[in-house]
């Protein structure tokens, strides 16, 4: 039984039950239909009864299969992965290959018409899991914590980058399935602990804390996999407020979160307020906003509750509860905290709607560093600094045909967060000459001479206009 994970992993790989194998076998039409919860095309694509089709039916589609001789059914049944009766094998879990090359074990996603979700449902790895994994810093770390590990997917991404990993969850069933995920992925030594929020790690410190928390904001905590039972967006707030106590010097905490938009309150103040007083530099990004109806529908659909007798009642309840709090929308986004050790920390709160270069984790440390360093740079230090325009920044000029000067100049990042900024002629000229060789001051003097502008005025204005461009990564300070 103990060598079952190794044997099963070997079987899965030999059969081609991998991300690419499943994708290729299903084809685009069936895969896209599955994303809409429609299984018929996938069932048609797996009619042949060969080993890969059989495993896709068993563990991806959740269809009972006739017991094939090559599947170690007794061992799998003993490990709680299948049940077997009358020659038919039925999966008790969803076992999916994951992009790291490992495997993730969870409960199966419910589809319309399925029995209601169990309260201790363990959610599978999906879009949100991938979003967090993409956001998390790639920097190698000593100790890492995955808070709310669920099926254990974040650990698959941390393994190899962290010397030691602690993973926690309130749901004991989540920890059981996570341990299966890690065993099937060949990951050893994860310290799995049960408990709420930071309770299981009281008094400890981590270089990296990651969490895809139970962020769903609902009137009642009905499902542990997505709702904490805390009031409104209080779980994410408390996670952010408590995190710094568990960070080692220089440590980072990164999480996904939802927050309320309340009539008469700027959401930036609400979420910015969670980070104020943490002593950490912070970066809050709102990626999307939904109105209350869209939000309630999304999560009722997620639990396959549309079309059930309670749907209208649950929907109405959810909306009435939002209305009682004057909620106008719900924001989705990322929160990153960095313990920079500075006595003058800064929190940047912003909306980013555009597609960004993935994975953000490749450059998130740089983003946090730019935000912090720019905030703490004095005007004199800035004027003495050697700036470099960031790689991939383009300049776009537009205006009426034949005009001598452009009406607008835009600097556009083709890399990273792909921001754009409308700038004046001086910043545009600086973008053309800043290659890290000369301090800003003499460059400004040269630009003043060329353009006929007053050098003193340019100098006085420079920190104000350049600070946002530095914080947003259009320029870097050269350290070479």
Is 243 or 431 the residue whose CB approaches ligand SAM more closely? 243
Segment near ligand SAM (CB under 6 A); pick from 95-103, 170-178, 318-326, 374-382: 170-178
- Min separation Cβ 236 and ligand SAM, Å: 11
Strands 408-413 and 420-423: antiparallel
Starting at the edge strand found earlier in the chain, the sheet holding 393-398 runs: 393-398, 408-413, 420-423
Site string for ligand SAM, 122-151 (x = CB under 6 A): -x-x---x--x--------------xxxx-
> Hey, CA dihedral for 67, 68, 74, 80, is it positive or negative?
negative
| Interaction of residue 224 with ligand SAM, rule CB under 6 A | yes
User: Is residue 370 classed exposed, middle or buried when 0-12, 13-18 and 19+ CB atoms within 10 A define those classes?
Assistant: buried
Is 171 or 185 the residue whose CB approaches ligand SAM more closely? 171
Is 95 or 132 the residue whose CB approaches ligand SAM more closely? 132
Helix residue ranges per DSSP H, 62-138: 73-78, 127-135
Binder among 109, 143, 157, 226 for ligand SAM (CB under 6 A): 226
Q: How many residues does the chain have?
A: 480
- β partners of residue 97: 103
- Min separation Cβ 58 and ligand SAM, Å: 22
Is 201 or 447 the residue whose CB approaches ligand SAM more closely? 201
| Interaction of residue 158 with ligand SAM, rule CB under 6 A | no
Cα angle 166, 169, 170; round to 5:
145
Whether the CB-CB separation of 211 and 239 falls below 8 Å is answered with yes
Strands 386-389 and 475-477: antiparallel
- 90 token code pair: 């039925």
Is 154 or 179 the residue whose CB approaches ligand SAM more closely? 154
- Min separation Cβ 138 and ligand SAM, Å: 17
Whether the CB-CB separation of 148 and 215 falls below 8 Å is answered with no
**Helix (H) / strand (E) containing 331:** strand 327-338
| Interaction of residue 171 with ligand SAM, rule CB under 6 A | yes
Segment near ligand SAM (CB under 6 A); pick from 4-12, 13-21, 39-47, 211-219: 211-219
| Interaction of residue 94 with ligand SAM, rule CB under 6 A | no
- β partners of residue 398: 408
Q: How far is residue 399 from each of residues 290, 422, 426, measured CA to CA in Å?
A: 36, 13, 17
Is 123 or 183 the residue whose CB approaches ligand SAM more closely? 123
- Min separation Cβ 299 and ligand SAM, Å: 12
Residues 331-390 that bind ligand SAM (CB under 6 A): none
| Interaction of residue 109 with ligand SAM, rule CB under 6 A | no
| Interaction of residue 174 with ligand SAM, rule CB under 6 A | yes
- Closest to 147 (Cα-Cα) out of 221, 73, 243: 243
Whether the CB-CB separation of 191 and 107 falls below 8 Å is answered with no
Segment near ligand SAM (CB under 6 A); pick from 13-21, 72-80, 208-216, 375-383: 208-216
Distance CA 196, CA 223 (A): 15
- Min separation Cβ 232 and ligand SAM, Å: 15
- Min separation Cβ 206 and ligand SAM, Å: 15
Is 174 or 271 the residue whose CB approaches ligand SAM more closely? 174
List of E strands, 206-246 = 206-211
- Min separation Cβ 322 and ligand SAM, Å: 21
Segment near ligand SAM (CB under 6 A); pick from 209-217, 325-333, 437-445, 472-480: 209-217
- Min separation Cβ 212 and ligand SAM, Å: 3
- 30 token code pair: 């069936």
Residues 176-205 that bind ligand SAM (CB under 6 A): 196-197
Is 231 or 396 the residue whose CB approaches ligand SAM more closely? 231
Q: What is the DSSP letter of 413?
A: E
| Interaction of residue 212 with ligand SAM, rule CB under 6 A | yes
Q: How far is residue 167 from each of residues 49, 111, 115, 125, 179, measured CA to CA in Å?
A: 38, 29, 30, 15, 10
User: Is residue 92 classed exposed, middle or buried when 0-12, 13-18 and 19+ CB atoms within 10 A define those classes?
Assistant: middle
Distance CA 308, CA 453 (A): 70
Binder among 41, 97, 102, 214 for ligand SAM (CB under 6 A): 214
Binder among 137, 185, 228, 374 for ligand SAM (CB under 6 A): 228
Residues forming the site for ligand SAM (CB under 6 A): 123, 125, 129, 132, 147-150, 153-154, 168-171, 174, 196-197, 212-214, 224-226, 228
């Amino acid at each position: 039984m103990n060598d079952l994970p190794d044997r099963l992993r070997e079987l899965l790989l030999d059969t081609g039950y991998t991300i690419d194998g499943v994708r290729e076998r299903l084809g685009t039409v069936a895969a896209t239909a599955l994303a809409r919860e429609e299984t018929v095309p996938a069932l048609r694509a797996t009619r042949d009864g060969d080993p890969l089709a059989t495993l896709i039916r068993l563990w991806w589609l959740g269809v009972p299969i006739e017991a094939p001789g090559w599947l170690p059914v007794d061992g799998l049944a003993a490990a709680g992965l299948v049940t077997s009766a009358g020659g038919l094998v039925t999966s008790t879990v969803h076992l999916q290959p994951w992009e790291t090359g490992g495997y993730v074990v969870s409960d199966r996603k419910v589809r319309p018409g399925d029995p209601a979700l169990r309260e201790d449902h363990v959610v599978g790895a999906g879009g949100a899991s991938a979003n967090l994994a993409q956001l998390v810093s790639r920097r190698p770390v000593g100790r890492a914590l995955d808070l709310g590990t669920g099926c254990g997917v974040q650990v698959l991404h941390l393994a190899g980058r962290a010397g030691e990993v602690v993973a926690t969850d309130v749901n004991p069933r989540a920890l059981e399935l996570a341990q299966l995920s890690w065993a099937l992925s060949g990951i050893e030594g994860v310290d799995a602990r049960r408990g709420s929020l930071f309770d299981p790690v009281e008094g400890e410190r981590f270089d990296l804390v990651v969490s895809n928390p139970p962020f769903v904001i609902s009137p009642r905590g009905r499902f542990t996999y997505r709702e904490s039972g805390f009031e409104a967006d209080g779980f994410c707030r408390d996670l952010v407020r408590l995190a710094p106590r568990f960070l080692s010097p220089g440590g980072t905490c990164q999480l996904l979160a939802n927050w309320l938009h309340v009539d008469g309150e700027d959401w930036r103040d609400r979420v910015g307020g969670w980070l104020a007083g943490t002593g950490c530099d912070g970066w809050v990004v709102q990626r999307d906003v939904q109105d209350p109806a869209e939000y309630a529908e999304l999560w009722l659909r997620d639990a396959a509750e549309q079309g059930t007798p309670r749907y209208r009642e649950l929907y109405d309840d959810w909306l009435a509860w939002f209305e009682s709090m004057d909620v106008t929308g719900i924001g989705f986004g990322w929160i990153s905290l960095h313990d920079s050790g500075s006595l003058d920390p800064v929190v940047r709160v912003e909306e980013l709607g555009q597609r960004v270069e993935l994975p953000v984790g490749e450059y998130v440390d740089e983003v946090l560093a730019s935000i912090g360093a720019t905030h703490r740079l004095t005007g004199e230090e800035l004027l003495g600094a050697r700036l470099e325009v960031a790689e991939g920044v383009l300049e776009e000029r537009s205006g009426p045909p034949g005009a001598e000067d452009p009406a607008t100049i835009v600097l556009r990042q083709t890399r990273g967060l792909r921001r754009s900024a409308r700038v004046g002629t001086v910043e545009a000229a600086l973008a053309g000459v800043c290659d890290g060789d000369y301090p800003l001051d003499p460059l400004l003097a040269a630009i003043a001479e060329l353009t006929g502008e007053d050098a003193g005025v340019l100098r006085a204005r420079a920190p104000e206009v350049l600070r946002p461009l530095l914080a947003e990564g259009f320029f870097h300070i050269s350290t070479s």
